[in-house]
Structure formats: structure tokens, C-alpha cells
Amino acid sequence: MESGERFKLSYSRPWRFSRSTGQFSRGLFCSCSLANLAPLMKKLTTGWLKLPGLQRLFTLFHEEGATLRLVGGSVRDGLLGLPTNDIDLAVDRPPQWVQD
């Protein structure tokens, strides 16, 4: 990414599920387009991305037509070159689908 280039951010109010309350709510979230994130994602080369179990999860979800995403602190830590203690994932399916 060029030094003067900025991220194009979009704001939306999607539904979000809270594990602590067990309820859905709406909040203000910020997202970047994939084109703007591509230069950063090239930097995400941490060892845990190659874990066989994690790769298998991505393969299984893909085979079922679901999208599994890395989210949270593990992505931040990976981009900063820091060690991570856990890996957070998000999927575009309801919890019951994942359990089944």
C-alpha cells in the first residue's frame, strides 16, 4: 500500500449475536473492502495459519458452502507480529448449523 493511500471504510448496523447475553443486537461496526485489506493480509504469515486442524476446519466449512473467517485479536496480533493465545473464528451460518 502506498504511504498516502487510505482505507475506504464503510459503516453499517448489522445484527450481532452476543455470547454473554445470548441475544441478538444491532451495533455500529466498521469494515474495509477486501481490495484495501489485501496488502495487509499478505503480512499475515503466522505459523498458526498452517495448523492442520485449522486448515481442516476451513476445508470442511468450504465444502459445505459456508464461509469461515479469522477474526479478532489473533488477526491483529498476526499483523503486528505478536504471539497469539487463541484463534477466533466467525461463520456465516447460525449456531445450530455449526453444532449439527
Q: What does residue 29 show for φ and ψ, rounded to 5 degrees?
A: -125, 155
The domain of 89 spans: 43-100
Instruction: Please check whether residue 63 is in contact with residue 56, taking contact to mean a CB–CB distance below 8 angstroms.
Output: no
Does 50 share its domain with 13? no
Q: Return d(Cα 74, Cα 12) in angstroms, integer.
A: 23
Q: How many domains does the chain have?
A: 2
Q: Return d(Cα 59, Cα 29) in angstroms, integer.
A: 28
Q: Return d(Cα 85, Cα 100) in angstroms, integer.
A: 27
Q: Return d(Cα 47, Cα 55) in angstroms, integer.
A: 12
Does 23 share its domain with 50? no
Task: Give 9-56 pLDDT, tens digit per residue.
Answer: 444 445 555 566 655 555 544 444 555 555 655 566 677 777 888 888
Does 12 share its domain with 51? no
- Is this model's pTM higher than 0.75 or not? no
